[in-house]
Amino acid sequence: MRIGPYPLANNVLLAPMAGITDRPFREICKRFGAGLTVSEMTASNPALRLHARTLLKSDGEGESGLRSVQILGTDPVQMAEAARFNVERGAHIIDINMGCPAKKVCSVAAGSALLRDEALVGNILDAVVNAACVPVTLKIRTGWDLHNRNAVRIAEIAEAAGIAALTVHGRTRACKFNGEAEYDTITAVKQAVGIPVIANGDIDSPEKARFVLAATGADAVMIGRAACGNPWLFEQIRYFFQGGDKHWQPAPATILSTIEAHLEQLYGFYGESAGVKIARKHIGWYLGRFDSISQDVRQSLNAATIATDQLRLTRSALDFLT
């Protein structure tokens, strides 16, 4: 699969996730074979563009491989400016968020709320594609609600605007992350346009990845929540696609070293205080794989406020892996 001039290493990609897909997590997922990763969504509002937290979300300094930065907003001019700004900071691909279902995003008519205004969608896509000198991709949902699925029409608008690839999450905005993803609309989108289509939603195993690709005809799958605490899922899926065992897992020592490396990268990226706080959710996801870890140990980890303590407690909790 290609996005513009860029050939991807494979067709198993990491979805952009707010508060999760920072540079440390993207690097971990690339290490385990993610064919492309996308940053957290970044605000296009010029008042927020230079805010330290916004800059961290799209920080790709020293990042390996392709850098895709997702932008969010409702004003075509501001979105175009945000695209240029992030290209100047090193983005190889600009991704536009029209899929986020969060209330705070949709309340200002951004994210998946834009799907209700097809004319505005077209204006935003035209502005960003014309402003950026790199490929522009788009992420959407199947529609606003179950009675208003317009992903096919949005896909046609996107293709006409010059969008290089389209990701479709198999839920409407109203569904948020509830229920099961539906793939019929993704199939219809793939049949309607010639640009690469990426299927997203509930892909959490090698078997599910193969099923979704076959059912939809999509060019790639995008992994979201299932990668949290399980970054080696990308390698597992790729190995399965090549005829390997669907139950493949990295060696226990690799799992432990990966978790340690992830925590250390978080401390370095955010600083100790913020890094420890952000690491807690990742530790929770990693430890969630192991039923043998007691609640007392988990509570001690959540209470740690110093990086060395948090790392020591994590190593102790996972000592059985060595």
Residues annotated catalytic, as ranges: 100
d(C-alpha 198, C-alpha 184), whole Å = 13
**Closest CA relative to residue 80, chosen from 13, 147, 5, 161:** 161
d(C-alpha 257, C-alpha 237), whole Å = 21
Torsions phi, psi for 310 (to 5 deg): -65, -40
CA-CA-CA-CA dihedral for 298, 299, 300, 306, to nearest 10? 100
Handedness of CA 153, 154, 155, 159 (dihedral sign): positive
Q: Which class for 251: exposed (0-12), middle (13-18), buried (19 or more C-beta within 10 A)?
A: exposed
d(C-alpha 107, C-alpha 122), whole Å = 20
d(C-alpha 118, C-alpha 152), whole Å = 11
CA-CA-CA-CA dihedral for 34, 19, 94, 48, to nearest 10? -160
